[in-house]
Structure 1
Amino acid sequence: MTRLVIFAKAPQPGAVKTRLIPALGADGAAALARAMLAHTLQQALAAGLDAVELCMSPAPGDPAWRGVALPAGVACTAQGDGDLGERMDRAMQRALALHPGPLLLIGTDCPALGSEYLREAARQLTQHDAVLLPVADGGYVLIGLQAPCPEVFTHMAWSTPAVAAETLQRLSALGLRVWQGPMLHDIDEVADLVHLPAGFAAPKHQAKSASSPIGTSASSS
């Protein structure tokens, strides 16, 4: 039984995708974040895995999530406090304690991470101890584990080009069998906007003072 946990921030202007604000404005960056969240949820459900959980910051029910429609069949949980590694480890340990077995964790920053990649990662995780999908900036957009592994999340230099390499090194040092998928691109910086997939709601670049939202059709946390 493979479960999928999605890490996401509420798509509020000025609180998400801040590195895109110079090009899109605060509202445009938030609209793109909302589009990518919707897209990620749609792809997660299309993958046909056993369960999908949205691990939210702030917690479910917070006013920041007002107006954000979530599809049926998605469980909602809170990320809680701590740095990214602490929150990821806590979410994985909680999910694995409730439902032992293969668990995938993703963010919402990679529109290219479609249902096919999710199904393949789930398939590989039945044959390996861990799976990882790296991105071009040195991080990763998916990690999967068969059992809790806090060693891969603690004391990590997040948001640096060494994250994926360091994670793979730690997994190898633990003697785990690891499958690494193809490299993808996430959307964090203005230069990353060229990697929005065809047919995705592609934003138009705005002046620094712009605040008009982009379209929100079909859409680290």
Structure 2
Amino acid sequence: MSTTVIVFAKAPVPGLAKTRLAPALGLDGAAALAERMLRHALAQAGAAALGPVELCAAPDASHAALRQAAAACGASLAEQGPGDLGQRMHRAFARHLPQAGRVLLIGTDAPALDAAMLRQAAAALHSQALVFVPALDGGYALVGQREADARWFDGMRWSHDQVMAHTRARLRAAGVAWAELAPVADIDAPADLAHLPPGWHPPGVAAGPAPHPHGAAGPAR
């Protein structure tokens, strides 16, 4: 059964992308890292070889870096459209699930979310209706569904450290089973730069464990 992988991303524009990293990297450096993470996420989605890959962009799909990144891995390009994160994610699922048996939606903030983990998440949807990869900051970096169901997204408060906990509570209250894979680190704030892959660290930024003092969101900002 084919699995569509949707990558949610902002255009890597200074002042728009990864602005919370600006104190450490500057606006241009933060945007450059956002573009690198975008290309990495798309490369992993393609390498997983699960099915079609879509880059779903915000605020629109017109930026040249988005078009180039999508073309480099053979991904289609779409726009997230209006609404909060939950509305945009549900709309993306609803657009693809009538044709695809399974859909995974990821952001670009978690470089540890690799092709092997994407294949593991797709396999989990053989037996579960939903799958998540939690983020260490309390959100999640991946959500997958077999049917588009807005209950896990509607009215959710995003960008805080209880997003995954609140999602679990909704699932339990509805009596719905789900799968969770090992958590990964989001790269959102300067402290998170310690979690970048080897060779990705900007000058003066060391690798190693980092705390997560900031809020969390879902797979995209």
TM-score range, shorter chain: 0.7 to 0.9
Whether the aligned pair in 2 keeps the contact of 1:53 and 1:75 (CA below 8 Å) is: yes
Task: Give the unaligned 5+ runs of structure 1.
Answer: 207-219
Per-residue CA deviations over 1:146-170 (Å, capped at 9, x if unaligned) read 1011010111110111101111221
Residue 130 in 1 paired to residue 144 in 2? no
What's 1:73 paired with?
74
What's 1:209 paired with?
none
- Compute the RMSD of aligned alpha carbons: 1.6
What's 1:183 paired with?
183
Question: Against the structure 1 CA distance between its residues 63 and 117, is the aligned structure 2 distance closer, same or farther, given a 3 Å change threshold?
Answer: closer
Per-residue CA deviations over 1:28-50 (Å, capped at 9, x if unaligned) read 00000000001001111011111
Displacement of 1:68: 4.0
Task: State the alpha-carbon separation in 1 of the partners of residues 170 and 32 from structure 2.
Answer: 36
Q: What is the identity, as a one-letter code, of the residue corresponding to 2:147? A: A
Pairing 1:66-145 to 2, within 5 Å after superposition: 68-70=68-70, 71-97=72-98, 99-145=99-145
Task: State the alpha-carbon separation in 1 of the partners of residues 170 and 204 from structure 2.
Answer: 39
3-state SS, counterpart of residue 69 of structure 1 = helix
Q: Percent identity?
A: 47
Whether the aligned pair in 1 keeps the contact of 2:42 and 2:73 (CA below 8 Å) is: no
- For this pair of structures, how many residues does the alignment match? 205
Per-residue CA deviations over 1:115-139 (Å, capped at 9, x if unaligned) read 1110100011111111011011100
Displacement of 1:101: 1.5
Q: What is the identity, as a one-letter code, of the residue corresponding to 1:31? A: A
Task: Give the unaligned 5+ runs of structure 2.
Answer: 206-219
What's 2:155 paired with?
155
3-state SS, counterpart of residue 69 of structure 2 = coil
Whether the aligned pair in 2 keeps the contact of 1:100 and 1:147 (CA below 8 Å) is: no
Task: State the alpha-carbon separation in 1 of the partners of residues 37 and 91 from structure 2.
Answer: 24
Q: What is the identity, as a one-letter code, of the residue corresponding to 2:173? A: A
Whether the aligned pair in 2 keeps the contact of 1:12 and 1:64 (CA below 8 Å) is: no
Pairing 1:169-208 to 2, within 5 Å after superposition: 169-199=169-199, 201-205=200-204
Considering Cα pairs closer than 8 Å and 6+ residues apart, tell me whether 1 or 2 has the greater RCO: 1
Per-residue CA deviations over 1:170-193 (Å, capped at 9, x if unaligned) read 122222221111111010010000
Task: State the alpha-carbon separation in 2 of the partners of residues 67 and 91 from structure 1.
Answer: 19
What's 1:40 paired with?
41
Residue 5 in 1 paired to residue 6 in 2? yes
Task: State the alpha-carbon separation in 1 of the partners of residues 76 and 60 from structure 2.
Answer: 12
Q: What is the identity, as a one-letter code, of the residue corresponding to 1:170? A: R
Task: State the alpha-carbon separation in 2 of the partners of residues 150 and 126 from structure 1.
Answer: 20
Question: Against the structure 1 CA distance between its residues 63 and 115, is the aligned structure 2 distance closer, same or farther, given a 3 Å change threshold?
Answer: closer
Q: What is the identity, as a one-letter code, of the residue corresponding to 2:20? A: R
Question: Against the structure 1 CA distance between its residues 24 and 68, is the aligned structure 2 distance closer, same or farther, given a 3 Å change threshold?
Answer: farther
> Could you tell me the TM-score, scaled by structure 1's length?
0.88
